[in-house]
Amino acid sequence: MLVLARRPNEQLVINGEIIVTVLGVGRNGQVRLGITAPPHVQIFRHELWLEIQAENRQAATPTQAGVDAALGQLLLRAPAPTVPAFDQE
Amino acid sequence: MTMCAAPAASPLVRVQTLHRGMVEVPEQDLITFVSPLLGFEHLKRFLIYQTQPGPMVWLQSVEDPAAAFCLLDPFAAGLDPDMEIAPSDLADIGAGSANEVTVYTVLVLDKDPAQIRTNLRAPILVGKLTQRAKQVVLNDQSLPIRFHLRDAKSRR
């Protein structure tokens, strides 16, 4: 990990296209950052990232019983997606 | 095992599925993730298929037979979320407009029916013409990561 000391209003450049500015440091220790980046660069709080990872992991390997339970909770409406279908075994 | 609609041109590939055993599908039906499903960064190629009519489909990893997800078409399911898809996300999956995208949300099929939920904040986009996909994280904080389906009826 690269560790740099920066003061308010000082900046970092990442990969020539992302600029991180230290906007200020609050008395509570909270650091305010400003980030400018091209539209294809996604920037999120790490907590959000971890939360979505955790939801995906929980979603893996579901059972048919779970599908039936979920269907019972939905009001269905056409049209549903068109994807390959396999008959019941 | 037979397909409902089998395009002729593409060679058949065998995919081991969690719910239907070994199936054969045209290679062009496989989905490629251009940026990873979060938490499953090692998986790139998937098959999306259905075992029953309706808004739910299976997202089956080609590389890992044990990795399968149940996805929901939130519009077909009547959830009608307002999702604003960024042009750069459309470009990533080779879609010219939102009409060329199928949107799915990841379902968590908890044992407790009250906990069955779907992630409206991080939908999976699939380009209808390209079979390229990505999971995006939308900026709209009003879209819940845990939307409980038991609330679906009261939402309408």
Per-residue pLDDT band for B106 (boundaries 50, 70, 90) equals very high
B40-94 per-position pLDDT tens digit: 999 999 999 988 888 889 999 999 999 999 999 999 888 989 999 999 899 999 9
Q: B57: Cβ–Cβ under 8 A, 6 or more apart, which residues?
A: A81, A83, B48, B49, B50, B70, B71, B73, B104
Position A25 scores a pLDDT of 94
Indicate if the alpha-carbon torsion angle B133, B135, B141, B142 is positive or negative: positive
A64-85 per-position pLDDT tens digit: 777 777 777 775 555 566 788 8
B131-143 per-position pLDDT tens digit: 999 999 998 999 9
What the block records as the tokens of B98 is 């939102």
Closest residue of chain B to A41, computed from CA coordinates: B88
Tell me the pTM.
0.83
* pLDDT at residue B154 tops 60: no
Q: Which of B48, B88, B149 sits opposite A70 (nearest CB)?
A: B149
Closest residue of chain B to A61, computed from CA coordinates: B68
B1-49 per-position pLDDT tens digit: 555 555 556 899 999 988 888 999 999 999 999 988 999 999 999 999 9
Give chain A positions within 8 Å (CB) of B1: 86-87
Position B53 scores a pLDDT of 82
Rounded CA separation B2/A69 (Å): 27
Contact across the interface for A84 and B76, Cβ inside 8 Å: no
Give chain B positions within 8 Å (CB) of A75: 77-78, 152-153, 156
Position B151 scores a pLDDT of 84
Q: State chain B's mean pLDDT as an integer.
A: 89
Contact across the interface for A52 and B121, Cβ inside 8 Å: yes
Please state the ipTM of this predicted complex. 0.86
Contact across the interface for B77 and A85, Cβ inside 8 Å: no
Average pLDDT over residues B113-120: 92
Rounded CA separation B59/A60 (Å): 10
pLDDT, averaged in runs of 10, over chain A (89 residues): 95 96 93 91 89 95 77 64 70
Contact across the interface for B116 and A70, Cβ inside 8 Å: yes
Question: Distance of CA B95 to CAs A47, B48, B98, B115, B134, Å?
Answer: 30, 18, 7, 34, 12
Position B5 scores a pLDDT of 57
Closest residue of chain B to A76, computed from CA coordinates: B77
